[in-house]
């Protein structure tokens, strides 16, 4: 009978054990979720750390390469580059001057020859000047024939296309000329001379070149 009671007690204990999960199971149940989350975050952190480290290593390699290239550049003889920069600056200055000169009106040999070769009979070109700032040619003349003055200016305008000519009239001048005859006065011993009077006309013109102020 004693044994049966023990068996009944054992069965009762076994029944009581099957009533629910053990205490260790309950603890494991509550710990497993936070532990799983911790492992997930830990793995994610490790992955991000490794990736950042890899990227940083690549950045360091690129910076090191740049430093090596810069050292090579600094060690290079830069004098040819400085000379090239100086030549470029000089060329730019010369080009600017050349463009400025090209934009200015020019006094050409052809213009001078035109003024000279188109002179009429008994007409003389006395002086010729060029004003670069005013872009004008000034010329003075002498003519023995007053009618040739207007004709000369008309020829410059029509034949040689010098349309921008300013003319303010002429000045009449008389000159007395004394010429020896080669004969001598028997009483005084002096050479016999003859006197003649010459009339001539002085005038000036101003020619405005292309590009000058109207």
Which of 158, 160, 119, 110 shows the shortest CA–CA distance to 141? 119
**Residue 125 pLDDT class (50, 70, 90 cuts):** very high
The residue that leads in pLDDT, 90 or 116, is 116
Q: How many Å apart are CA 54 and CA 60, to the nearest integer?
A: 10
Is residue 4 pLDDT above 70, yes or no?
A: no
Range of lowest pLDDT (91-95, 96-100, 188-192, 199-203): 96-100
The whole-number pLDDT of residue 133 equals: 83
- pLDDT tens-digit series, residues 22-79: 556 656 666 667 777 777 777 877 888 788 788 888 888 888 888 877 777 766 666 7
The whole-number pLDDT of residue 102 equals: 53
Q: What is the SS3 string spanning 76-145?
A: CCCHHHHHHHHHHHHHHHHHHHHHHHHHCCCCCHHHHHHHHHCCCCCEEEEEEEEECCCCEEEEEEEECC
The whole-number pLDDT of residue 170 equals: 95
Q: Is 118 exposed, middle or buried (0-12, 13-18, 19+ CB in 10 A)?
A: middle
Q: Which fold is adopted by the domain 109-208?
A: Gyrase A; domain 2 (3.30.1360)
Range of lowest pLDDT (42-51, 147-156, 164-173, 192-201): 42-51
Domains of the chain, by residue range, sit at 109-208
Q: How far is CA 126 from each of CA 90, 112, 206, rounded to the nearest angstrom?
A: 42, 12, 14
Contact 111, 102 (CB under 8 A): no
């Amino acid at each position: 009978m004693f044994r049966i009671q023990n068996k009944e007690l054992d069965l009762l204990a076994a029944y009581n054990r099957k009533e629910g999960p053990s205490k260790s199971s309950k603890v494991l149940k509550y710990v497993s979720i936070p532990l799983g989350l911790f492992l997930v975050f830990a793995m994610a952190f490790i992955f991000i750390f490794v990736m950042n480290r890899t990227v940083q290593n690549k950045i360091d390699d690129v910076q090191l390469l740049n430093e090596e290239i810069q050292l090579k550049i600094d060690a290079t003889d830069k004098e040819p580059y400085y000379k090239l920069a100086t030549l470029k600056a000089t060329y730019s200055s010369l080009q600017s001057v050349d463009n400025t000169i090209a934009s200015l009106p020019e006094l050409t040999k052809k213009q001078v020859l035109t003024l000279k070769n188109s002179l009429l009979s008994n007409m003389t070109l006395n002086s010729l000047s060029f004003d670069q700032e005013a872009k004008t040619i000034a010329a003075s003349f002498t003519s023995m024939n007053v009618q040739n003055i207007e004709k000369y200016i008309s020829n410059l305008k029509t034949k040689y296309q010098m349309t921008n000519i300013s003319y303010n009239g002429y000045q009449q001048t008389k000159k007395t000329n004394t010429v020896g005859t080669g004969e001598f006065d028997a009483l005084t011993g002096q050479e016999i001379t003859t006197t003649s009077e010459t009339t001539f006309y002085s005038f000036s013109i101003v020619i405005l070149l292309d590009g000058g102020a109207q």
